[in-house]
Amino acid sequence: MGAALGNHPAAAPRPGRERLIVAMTGVDGARYGIGLLEALRQTSVEAHLVMCPCARQAIRAQTGRDPDLVRRLASRSYHPHNQAAKISSGSFLTRGMVIAPCSVRSMSAIVNGYATTLVARAADVTLKERRPLVLLVNESPLSPIQVENLRRAAAVPGVVVSWPGQQAADEVVDGLLAQFAIPRGGTAEPLPS
C-alpha cells in the first residue's frame, strides 16, 4: 500500500530510512544535479547517486568542480554499470528517482525498457514499483524521434518530464524537492501509507 502520487501509488520508505535516487548523465545542466545533492545533504533524506562517465566530464566542463567531490555529496554512490546495486531492487525502498540532468539517450533507454545501465535499470525498477520518476531533460534541438520519446515518457503514470531551460539552479532544485515533499533544510515527512 502506498500514497497516491499522480496515477501511481508510491511505496512509503520506512521511517528514518528516507532515500532518493539521484542520477546524473552527461548533458548540459550538471548544476541542477549538484544543487539537488547539496540540498539533500541539508535534509534527512539519503541521496543514492549514479554518475555516468559523461556526467563526470560535464561536471568538470560546466562547473569546474571535481566530480569525485560532487560524488561525495551523496550518502552513497554506485558504479553506473553495477546492475546488482541495491538501487536496482524493488525491495530497496525510496521516495523515487530524479535524473538531473537527463540526456535524451538515457530518456530513450528508459522509455523503451532498454535497461543496460544502472541509471536505466534503477528507473525501470522505480516505475515497476510505482514510485515517482523525474526526468530533467535539458537538450535541444530534438529530433522527431526524441520528441516522440519525450511524449511517451510524459504519458507514463508517475513520470514527470521537466525542461528547465535557463532557470536558476535554486529554482529547479526547489521544484524537485517539492515534487518529493522534501522541505529544504528540514526533515522529510514520511509519505502517507
pLDDT top residue among 118 and 7: 118
Q: What is the pLDDT of residue 62?
A: 95
**Cis-peptide into 190, omega within 30 deg:** no
Q: Is 41 exposed, middle or buried (0-12, 13-18, 19+ CB in 10 A)?
A: middle
Residue 167 located in a structural domain:
yes
CATH code assigned at 145: 3.40.50.1950
Residue 187 located in a structural domain:
no
Q: What is the mean pLDDT of residues 90-116?
A: 95
Between 43-47, 88-92, 166-170, the lowest mean confidence (pLDDT) is in 166-170
Residue 10 located in a structural domain:
no
Residue 36 located in a structural domain:
yes
Q: What whole-number distance in Å separates Cα of residue 161 and Cα of residue 158?
A: 10
Check if the beta carbon of residue 191 is closer than 8 Å to that of residue 95.
Answer: yes
Residue 186 located in a structural domain:
no
Q: Domain count of the chain?
A: 1
Residue 4 located in a structural domain:
no
Q: Rounded to the nearest 5°, which phi and psi values hold at 34?
A: -65, -45
- When the pLDDT of each residue in the chain is averaged and rounded to a whole number, the result is 88
Residue 56 located in a structural domain:
yes
Give, rounded to a whole angstrom, the gap between the first and last alpha carbons of the chain: 6
Domain hosting 40: range is: 19-179
Check if the beta carbon of residue 45 is closer than 8 Å to that of residue 26.
Answer: no
